[in-house]
Amino acid sequence: MRYDRPRFLDQGEAALVVEFGDVVDAELNASVLALDKAFLRERPQGVKETTPTYRSLLVHYEPLEVSRDALIDWINAVIAGSDRDEATQNDNDAPGSLRSARDDGAAWIIPCCYDPAIAEDIIEAASLLGLPPTSLAEEHAAAGYRAYMYGFAPGWCYLGGLPETLAITRRLAPRGPTPEGAVLIGGGLSLIATNPMPTGWYVIGRTPERLFSLRRDPPFLVAPGEALRFEPIGAMTFASLDARAAQGEIVARRETAA
Amino acid sequence: MRARLYIRAAGPGVTIQDAGRFGYSRYGVTRAGPMDEAAFAAATRAVGSAAAIEASLGGCTFEAEGATLAVAVAGGAFDIRLDDAKLPPGCFFPLAPGARLTIRAGASGAWCYAAIGARFDLPLALGSLSTHARSGLGPKPLAAGDALPLLDLAPAPHGPCAIEEPWLAPDAAPIRVMLGPQDDYFPPESLEAFLSCEWRVGARSDRMAYALEGPRLAHSRGHDIVSDGAVMGAIQVPGSGAPFVLMADRQPTGGYPKIATVIGADLGRFAQLRTGETVRFRKVDREEAVAARVALKSKMAAGASLTPLAAEMSTEKLLAANLISGVVSGRD
């Protein structure tokens, strides 16, 4: 459910949760990111960091530098202002890699190999979904996604937009570490992972792209709120793009929808 | 010869920490930073450094190479020795080449900070030197044989001093919490049990989270929430009903309801609890939490007092001077 007005919840005396609703929803997430963008742009006194998630923004602040009331007034003014006029806000964000979503209508095209030799769980997931593995891959690659949020580990990017036919219950117990660059599905969402970690999601593909690399500036490729699509590639292409990405090259690209 | 800090021995979980990795939680990056911020501040301020070595109960042993280093130690009531001489748990002293600093678990406390009057000549990861072992950011946990290159050495003091930090005074009072943000996911009986029972710090406790052993806390609205951001001190209750308190190495977001949050002024005191020790929680409102924060910050702003210890360090002389009993109070 999306609330009529955001709820302000304390998480201790130095963090405020601005909750816009209690579901995973693109419009709700857009409200979270619009507020986050205002924080990145204006960096109000006393605010240390903001953490955007699916449905809320966590504002870490120093109550000795800014009062909770003043912070809420500022947030309410931003929300009222962005309802009135979204067009006047230009993309002049915080420096470095802490930028908000680009508003150019383009989508990231992420190369993804669905070959069962690389996509370790695709046969198992397809069988659970009652689909041939090739159909699972085609449906996953045909959909358009939105980066809702990062979580779990650096560069783990949670994506909305998974077709309902691919919604799959997560495993009861986590499987062993996922391979680097795993593309996963679980619980109605898709996910691009970076470093190997145990998870209850299903590995249905692998991308050679590094969503996080300290060898690159900025180290994070995709900002929350940006659009993505997957481009199927074969195992040979995967190997060559993987080698190039290992050298620091960006092998994904941005493309405006025709 | 270039100045370095040589690690002669290190137990598990000895890491370098600075204030933490800020600004990247939006990309899934953990803040890390010290478990006990007030103790970290006491050590780093004494030598003017931005980072410190955080030791746990496994302890560690250091030596200086190439220069005499200014070293400050603060934290729980650890057993601190400069060669054979016992120093108080909060201390500031010169570490000359050939001398050996040993930090071992003492009477109480789980974390101890050794700050060096210098800058570690190590690469920053995302603007921070803090080790987050799980994601591989920052330097690896320290191990015997490591030698940390140092730059910008601060002058070492002439002799050892005790650091007295009133804000690290022992306090067995309950740990204060603010309820929420998801206290509405629990029935009144669970909230009552949480606030009235004695909890034991479980064995599965580390820099990421402290497990709490006690009654199982039932949920009233299920145990899954749509993931949201989580701070250090947030107390999550998963489906098992066994709460855990998120600590410095927590993930930046979580999907379990948070029944309460430890207030900032009590986080360090909570962090210093050891596995098997017991703790109670007391509910406070935001005003009291902010007042406690103001009180702690103003005590810290007043600064530490340094008391010179005997010029020629020896256990006998220290004991004879009756200094130890006066300053060992750190966290016992």
Q: What is the pLDDT of residues B81-111, one digit of tens each?
A: 999 999 999 999 999 999 999 999 999 999 9
| Residues B302-331, mean pLDDT to the nearest whole number | 56
- Minimum-distance CB partner of A12 among B178, B252, B297: B178
Q: Both A110 and A158 in a single domain?
A: yes
Is-contact B269 B175, C-beta < 8 A? yes
Q: What is the pLDDT of residues A157-200, one digit of tens each?
A: 999 999 999 999 988 888 889 999 999 999 899 999 998 988 89
Q: Both A112 and A222 in a single domain?
A: yes
Question: Among all residues of chain B, which has the CA nearest to that of A21?
Answer: B226
Q: Both A84 and A135 in a single domain?
A: no
The CATH number that applies at residue A12 is 3.30.1360.40
Pick the last residue of a domain from A89, A117, A146.
Answer: A89
Q: Both A75 and A124 in a single domain?
A: no
Q: Residue B311 — pLDDT band, cuts 50, 70, 90?
A: low
Residue B328's pLDDT is 37
Q: What is the pLDDT of residues B159-208, one digit of tens each?
A: 999 998 777 777 889 999 999 999 999 999 999 999 999 999 999 899 99
Q: Both B136 and B194 in a single domain?
A: no
ipTM field? 0.92
Residues of A in contact with B23 (CB under 8 A): 49, 94, 98
Are the Cβ atoms of A11 and B261 closer than 8 angstroms?
A: yes
Residue A215's pLDDT is 87
With a pLDDT cut of 70, the percent of chain A lying above it is 93
DSSP-assigned letter for residue B223: S
Considering the domain boundaries, does residue A61 fall inside one?
yes
Is-contact B188 B220, C-beta < 8 A? no
Q: Both A208 and A124 in a single domain?
A: yes
Residue B305's pLDDT is 83
Q: Both B136 and B192 in a single domain?
A: no
- Minimum-distance CB partner of A154 among B137, B226, B290: B137
E-assigned strand segments in B83-174? 85-87, 91-95, 100-116, 119-120, 147-151, 161-164
Considering the domain boundaries, does residue B332 fall inside one?
no
Residue B303's pLDDT is 76
- For residue B215, what are the β-bridge partners? none
Are the Cβ atoms of B229 and A15 closer than 8 angstroms?
A: yes
Are the Cβ atoms of B29 and A48 closer than 8 angstroms?
A: no
Indicate which of B25, B228, B231 best probes the interface with A, i.e. most A CBs within 10 Å of its own CB: B228
Q: What is the pLDDT of residues A69-80, one digit of tens each?
A: 999 999 999 999
CB-based burial of residue B186 (10 Å sphere; 0-12 exposed, 13-18 middle, 19+ buried)? buried
What's the CA gap between B17 and B207, in Å, rounded?
Answer: 12
- pLDDT of B34 higher than 70: yes
Residues of A in contact with B259 (CB under 8 A): none
- Total domains present in chain A: 2
Higher pLDDT, A2 or A203: A203
Q: What is the pLDDT of residues A12-22, one digit of tens each?
A: 999 999 999 99
| Residues B275-283, mean pLDDT to the nearest whole number | 97
| Residues B142-158, mean pLDDT to the nearest whole number | 97
Tell me which residue has tokens 């601060």. Answer: B154
Considering the domain boundaries, does residue A97 fall inside one?
no
Q: Residue A257 — pLDDT band, cuts 50, 70, 90?
A: confident
The CATH number that applies at residue B204 is 2.40.100.10
Residues of A in contact with B252 (CB under 8 A): 51, 151
Q: Both B215 and B88 in a single domain?
A: no
Indicate which of A7, A11, A189 best probes the interface with B, i.e. most B CBs within 10 Å of its own CB: A11
Residue B228 is part of which domain span? 175-300
Q: What is the pLDDT of residues B220-262, one digit of tens each?
A: 988 888 899 999 999 999 999 999 999 999 999 988 999 999 9
Q: Both A21 and A120 in a single domain?
A: no
Nearest to A253 by CA among A214, A213, A207, A215: A207
Residue A88's pLDDT is 47
The CATH number that applies at residue A229 is 2.40.100.10
Residue B222's pLDDT is 85
Is-contact B147 B6, C-beta < 8 A? yes
- Total domains present in chain B: 2
| Smallest Cα distance from B327 to chain A, Å | 31
Considering the domain boundaries, does residue A135 fall inside one?
yes
Residue A130 is part of which domain span? 106-256
Residue A84's pLDDT is 59
Lowest-pLDDT range, A26-35, A114-123, A212-221, B44-53? A212-221
Q: Both A145 and A194 in a single domain?
A: yes
Q: Both A75 and A120 in a single domain?
A: no
Q: Both A83 and A167 in a single domain?
A: no
Question: Among all residues of chain B, which has the CA nearest to that of A33?
Answer: B26
Q: Residue B320 — pLDDT band, cuts 50, 70, 90?
A: very low
- Minimum-distance CB partner of A56 among B126, B229, B293: B229
Is-contact A120 A199, C-beta < 8 A? no
Nearest to B51 by CA among B104, B125, B110: B125
Q: Both B12 and B155 in a single domain?
A: yes
Indicate which of A25, A53, A199 best probes the interface with B, i.e. most B CBs within 10 Å of its own CB: A53
Considering the domain boundaries, does residue B170 fall inside one?
no
Considering the domain boundaries, does residue B331 fall inside one?
no
Residue A83's pLDDT is 63
Q: Pairing state of beta strands B281-283 and B175-179?
A: parallel
Are the Cβ atoms of B28 and A98 closer than 8 angstroms?
A: no
Residues of A in contact with B180 (CB under 8 A): 9-11
What's the CA gap between B103 and B61, in Å, rounded?
Answer: 6
Q: Both B102 and B50 in a single domain?
A: yes
